[in-house]
Amino acid sequence: MGTDRPYRWHGDGESPAREVELRPYRIGRCTVSNREFAAFIDATGYATEAERYGWSFVFHLFLPDDFPDTRAVAATPWWRQVFGADWAHPDGPQSDVEDRWDHPVVHTSWDDAQAYCKWAGMRLPTEAEWECAARGGLVQKRFVWGDEFSPGGQTMCNIFEGRFPVENTAEDGYVGTAPVDAFPANGFGLRNMAGNVWEWCNDWFHPTFHRSGSRTDPEGPLTGEARVMRGGSYLCHDSYCDRYRVSARSSNAPESSSGNLGFRVAGDPSAKLHEGVGSS
Amino acid sequence: MTERTRDRMRGSMVRVPGGTFRMGSDNHYPEESPVHTVTIGGFSISPTTVTNQQFRAFVDATEYVTVAERPLDPADFPGAPAENLVAGSLVFTMTSGPVDLRHLSRWWTWTPGACWRHPEGPGSGIEGRADHPVVQVAFEDADAYAVWAGEELPTEAEWEYAARGGLEEMAFVWGNDAVPDGTYLANFWQGDFPWRNSAADGYPGTAPVGSFAPNGHGLFDMAGNVWEWTTDWYGDHHPPDADKPCCVPTNPRGPVIEASYDPAQPQFRVPRRVIKGGSFLCADEYCQRYRPAARRPQIAYTGMSHIGFRTIVRAPTSTS
């Protein structure tokens, strides 16, 4: 788990590379889709935090040209605060998910993800479980499929191509999200463990806690201010954030949401295993 | 969310990559054994069973008349009383108290006028149930819908492979606990069958499709709610496990039609298809069949108020 190689982001706590033992677990083949999340909403009447707050963060290129001015995040001005943006209106109130039922649900906070998992009898993966699953049986590779970005010229994931953040040439076929089962599976049969959408993990984020923390079924610090997210998204660009690497980490406040952040479920097996077996 | 949106959402297909799996169970009812290895090609499958709204669109477009809506031909039933030859179907009715669970006729009643539009008989309707599974459809009704939609009905092996959602040899489509941490993950019977239904899962009868969490393939209601038709003829056990990898069956289609005749009633050569998944009537002490390995024979031309179906498309659409 983790990496000591020079491409790591030093402040993120990707290092040290370390041996971690995990008990068996299950993890979703794909991130939760809009279809699946819609069923949860229909069945429970749950209102997401973005719906309760009334807004979420939308990437500026998805807004219509005539969209009124909104607040933006100072350090990342391409993120715009959009009222009426939520999981069912991912690009703002003028949008819907009619043509995206198979795409990952986004604008779901960590708390929303927890609520979905509870309904489904599942839980979020720990960060260690997530990374072990993402590596797909490979050891200390840069990406979930190996060290080479585009083996044999094949497109392996959905990230941002072109000039970030103003022009996405979509060489991978997608400007925004891609269907949850797009692109080749990794060694464990899991889809989109790199790119497409960031994925919530259960752990509180800390840049150095894991240096001294447990190496057996680590669950992260007991408390914190932000939860771990992993995997990178369709907005990852080499010039700005190559965090679609398998060891890359990031975090966000548990109540926050954005148009490039989703989740996949995990669970404890009661018998034999299918996916996400082993240790990294 | 509007009905229109729901319908579109649930009408689209979900890709299930091909693979090899262990079919059946040696730990439950005898007809589910032996566990054996099967290889399945990839397909796309409807994430939900066909709804009343979807079936209505088919009937409106084709003027199709279901089996339960057709009067019976006296020539097919010599000696049968005339009052039994009217159109109708079988309806589940709760009893007033405990009954002998060996006698299905205590809670299943032949009901003239029962059909998909009137699932519990003439006094009932499907208003307010547009997004519930269509029921009271015979196999040929389900097949006619599939042909109209340009789709097909699944084999038993395809259905079970899809239902397992990537989990290996689990009792349920979500794991090995029927009600993990007290969370109901399917619509089945809680209480005393067939007379006290506590509906602890929230639904005494059918639930709207997609009311419970999906399985690992993103498919809803692969356990409980309604039984689902498959194309296989029923045999009372599975074939033996292949003794060599070369002999693992690929896309098996079940036994011959003769195997499906009821050995308890050899005088009637009534063909029976496999139904899968269990229903809202599955009660643990009577029939714990809201499991992927569970299977029952169903007379091919008889619909019931707890049987529906979903469709698949075998043309490969996945890159895997």
Decide: helix, strand or coil at residue A117. helix
Mean pLDDT estimate for chain A = 91
Interface contact A272-B218, CB threshold 8 A:
no
Whether pLDDT at B51 is above 60: yes
Q: What is the token pair recorded at B262?
A: 């009821």
Torsion A143-A146-A152-A156 (CA) sign = negative
Q: What is the DSSP string of A49-100?
A: HHHHHTEEEEEGGGS-TTPPP--B-SS-TTEEEEET-BTTBTT-TT--STT-
Q: Measure the CA–CA gap between A116 and B159, rounded to whole angstroms.
A: 26
Residue with the two structure tokens 């996916």: A275
Q: Which range among A109-118, A238-247, B76-85, B159-168 shows the weakest confidence by mean pLDDT?
A: B76-85
Does the pLDDT value for residue B73 go beyond 50?
A: yes
Mutate which: A36, A40, A103, A119, vs B, most B CBs within 10 A: A36
Q: Name residues whose C-beta falls within 8 Å of residue B114's C-beta, 6 or more positions apart in sequence.
A: B68, B88, B89, B90, B91, B120, B121, B122, B136, B305
Q: What percent of chain A has pLDDT over 70?
A: 96
| Residue that wins the pLDDT comparison between B174 and B104 | B174
| Ordered domains of chain A (ranges, CATH) | 22-50+103-268 (3.90.1580.10)
CA B32 to chain CA centroid, Å, is: 16
pLDDT at A273 over 50: no
What's the pLDDT tens digit per position in B272-303? 999 999 999 999 888 899 999 999 999 999 99
- Choose the closest CB to B175 out of A39, A101, A267: A267
Cα A166 to the chain's mean position, in Å?
22
Q: Do the Cβ atoms of B173 and B188 come closer than 8 Å?
A: no
Mutate to test the interface with B, among A42, A158, A180, A183 (most CBs of B within 10 A): A42
Cβ–Cβ gap A121/B12 under 8 Å = no
Best residue of A116, A145, A272 to probe chain B, by most B CBs closer than 10 Å: A272
Q: Which of A92, A100, A97 minimizes the C-alpha distance to A66?
A: A92
Q: Chain B residues with CB inside 8 Å of A181's CB?
A: 15, 318
Mention every residue, 6+ apart, whose C-beta is less than 8 A from residue B254: B155, B156, B231, B232, B233, B234, B235, B274
Confirm if B184 and B225 have CB atoms less than 8 A apart: no
**Per-residue pLDDT at B58:** 96
| CA distance to partner chain B, nearest, from residue A243 (Å) | 26
Q: Report which of B15, B76, B1 is spatially closest to residue B318, judged by C-alpha positions.
A: B15
Sorted by sequence, the CB contacts under 8 Å of residue A238 that are 6+ apart come out as: none
Least-confidence region, from A91-95, B46-50, B96-100, B312-316: B312-316
pLDDT value for A277: 37
Query: A136 vs chain B: nearest CA distance in angstroms?
Result: 16
Q: Check residue A76 and give its pLDDT.
A: 84
Task: Report the mean per-residue pLDDT for chain B.
Answer: 91
Count the neighbouring beta carbons within 10 Å of the beta carbon of residue A76: 13
pLDDT band at B10 (very low <50, low <70, confident <90, very high): low
d(CA B101, CA B79): 29
What are φ and ψ of residue A23, in 5° steps? -75, 160
Per-residue burial over B15-26, b if 16 or more Cβ lie within 10 Å, else e, is bbbbeebbbbbe
B47 CB contacts (<8 Å, ≥6 apart)?
A35, B10, B12, B13, B14, B210, B214, B218, B219, B220
List pLDDT tens digits, range A207-238.
Answer: 999 999 999 999 999 999 999 999 999 999 87
Cβ-defined contact of B176 to A185 (cutoff 8 Å): no
CB–CB of B168 and A181 under 8 A?
Answer: no
B10, B167, B218 ranked by CB distance to A33: nearest:
B218
Q: What is the pLDDT of residue B315?
A: 66
| pLDDT band, residue A279 (cuts 50/70/90) | very low
State the nearest Cα–Cα gap between B169 and chain A, in angstroms.
7
Q: Read off the tokens for B76.
A: 């097919």
Nearest to B226 by CA among B177, B188, B200: B188
Closest CA to A196 of A164, A230, A163: A230
Q: Kindly determine whether residue A121 and residue B217, on different chains, have CB atoms separated by under 8 Å.
A: no
Using an 8 Å CB-CB cutoff, list chain A residues near B130. Answer: none
Q: How far is B283 from chain A (nearest CA, A)?
A: 21
Question: Three-class SS of residue A149?
Answer: coil
Predicted local distance difference test score (pLDDT) of residue A141: 96
Chain A hits for B214, CB-CB cut-off 8 Å, are: 35-36, 39, 120
Q: Would you say residue B9 has pLDDT above 60?
A: no
Interface test with B, best of A96, A102, A263 (most B CBs within 10 A): A102
Structure confidence by residue, pLDDT tens digits, B151-170 = 999 999 999 999 999 999 99
Residue B47 · residue B214 · CB < 8 Å: yes
**In the 8-state DSSP scheme, what is residue B301?**
T
- Spell out which residues of chain A touch residue B177, defining contact as CB-CB under 8 Å: 270
Give the three-state DSSP class for A211: helix
* Long-range CB contact pairs, A138-144, < 8 A, 24+: A138/A187, A139/A280, A140/A3, A140/A5, A140/A17, A141/A246, A142/A3, A142/A5, A142/A7, A142/A245, A142/A246, A143/A194, A143/A244, A143/A245, A143/A246, A144/A186, A144/A193, A144/A194, A144/A246
Q: How confident is the model at residue B146 (pLDDT cuts 50, 70, 90)?
A: very high
Amino acid symbol at A209: F
- Which is more confidently placed, B311 or B195? B311
Which chain B residues are closer than 8 Å to A43 by Cβ?
210-212
What would the mean pLDDT of B212-232 be, rounded to a whole number? 97
Percentage of chain B modeled with pLDDT above 70: 95
Inter-chain CB proximity A43 and B175 less than 8 Å: no
pLDDT the model gives residue A238:
78
Residues forming beta bridges with residue B21, ordered by sequence position: B38
**What is the arithmetic mean of pLDDT over A117-124?**
94
User: Based on the number of CB atoms within 10 Å of its own CB, is B282 exposed (0-12), middle (13-18) or buried (19 or more)?
Assistant: buried
pLDDT tens digits for A9-40? 888 999 999 999 999 999 999 999 999 999 99
**Is A29's CB within 8 Å of B9's CB?**
no
Q: What's the burial of A140, exposed, middle or buried (CB within 10 Å: 0-12/13-18/19+)?
A: middle
Nearest to B12 among A39, A101, A267 (CB): A101
Whether A121 sits inside 8 A of B214 (CB atoms) is no
For every residue of B202-237, DSSP letters joined together read S-SS---TT-S---TTS-S-SSBSSEEEEEEEP-SS
What is the model's pLDDT at position A265?
Answer: 97
Kindly identify which residue of chain A lies nearest to residue B218, measuring between CA atoms.
A36
End-to-end CA distance of chain B: 33
In 3-state terms, what secondary structure has residue B66? coil
Query: pLDDT category, A271, cuts 50, 70, 90?
Result: very low
CB pairs under 8 A between A and B: 93
What contacts B52, CB < 8 A, 6 or more positions away?
B116, B126, B129, B130, B131, B132, B133, B134
Q: Are residues A251 and A201 in contact, defined by beta-carbon separation less than 8 angstroms?
A: no
Q: Which residues of B touch A33 (CB under 8 A)?
A: 218
d(Cα A164, Cα A239) in Å, to the nearest integer?
7
Pseudo-torsion of CA B94, B163, B45, B139, nearest 10°? Answer: -40
What pLDDT, on the 0 to 100 scale, is given for residue B11?
Answer: 55
Query: Is B8 at the interface with chain A, CB within 8 A?
Result: yes
Q: Which of the four pLDDT bands, split at 50, 70 and 90, describes residue B190? A: very high
State which amino acid sits at residue A111: D
Instruction: Look at A194-198, B189-193, B290-294 and tell me which has the smallest mean pLDDT.
Output: B189-193
* B180–A121 CB contact, under 8 Å: yes
For the residues B56-73, what does the mean pLDDT come to?
A: 94
Q: Which tens digits make up the pLDDT trace of A140-154?
A: 999 999 999 999 999
Question: Which residues of A lie closer than 8 Å to B, measured between beta carbons?
Answer: 26, 28-30, 33-36, 38-43, 88, 98, 101-102, 118-122, 180-181, 184-185, 189, 267, 269-275
Contact between B178 and A37 under an 8 Å Cβ cutoff? The reply is no
* CB-CB neighbours of B69 under 10 Å: 19
Range of weakest confidence among A104-118, B36-50, B70-84, B236-250: B70-84
B208 touches chain A (CB under 8 A): yes
B175 touches chain A (CB under 8 A): yes
Lowest mean pLDDT among A158-172, B50-64, B74-88, B264-278: B74-88
Residue A82: per-residue pLDDT: 94
Residues of chain A with Cβ-Cβ distance to B211 below 8 Å are 39, 42-43
